[in-house]
Amino acid sequence: MTDFKLLTLEELKSVFKGYLGTYQQSRHAGGWNEPGKRKRYKDKCRERYRKRIK
């Protein structure tokens, strides 16, 4: 985690805009656009599924 006090207002804005952009993009694409996130999400689902089967 970065300390937000260290960031300037402009940096904070750009970070927030970027976050919103990726969020909207991923929602528009119907889910988890980042490959890392997608894999982690799939793994989570797989774990849940395994537990349910047992």
State both tokens at 10.
């402009």
Q: What is the mean pLDDT of residues 15-43?
A: 57
DSSP state at residue 30: T
Least confident of 26-30, 33-37, 42-46: 26-30
Whole-structure pTM value:
0.24
Q: What is the mean pLDDT of residues 14-20?
A: 65
Give the pLDDT confidence score for residue 30 in this predicted structure.
Answer: 47
Residue 48 pLDDT level (bands cut at 50, 70, 90): confident
Query: Taking 70 as the threshold, does the pLDDT of residue 18 lie above it?
Result: no
Q: How far apart are CA 16 and CA 42, in angstroms?
A: 26
